[in-house]
Chains A and B, each alone.
Chain A
Amino acid sequence: MDTLLLTRLFVGLAALFCLAGLAWRLQAFLALPYKPEQAPPKGRVIPGLLYAFTMAMAPWSKESTRRHLLAYVRGILFHIGIFTSLALLPLSLFPGQLGNFRLLLAVPIGLGALGGWAGFGQRLVGERERALSTPDDFAAVALVSLFMTVAFATLLNDAWLAAFYTVSALMLIYLPFSKMRHFLYFFFSRFFFGIRYSRRGAIGWSSTHLEG
Chain B
Amino acid sequence: MRFKGSQDIAAGMMFVGIGALALYISADYNMGSARSPGTGVLPRILSWCLIGTGVLVWIKAFLADGPSLGLAGWAWRPVIMVTVATVAFALHVDSLGLVPTMVLAMTIAALGTPETRWVEYTVFCLLMLVVGWGMFIYALGMPIPVWPEKMPDWIVAVRSVLKRGQ
A and B held together in a complex: no
List the interface of chain B (C-beta within 8 A of A): none
List the interface of chain A (C-beta within 8 A of B): none
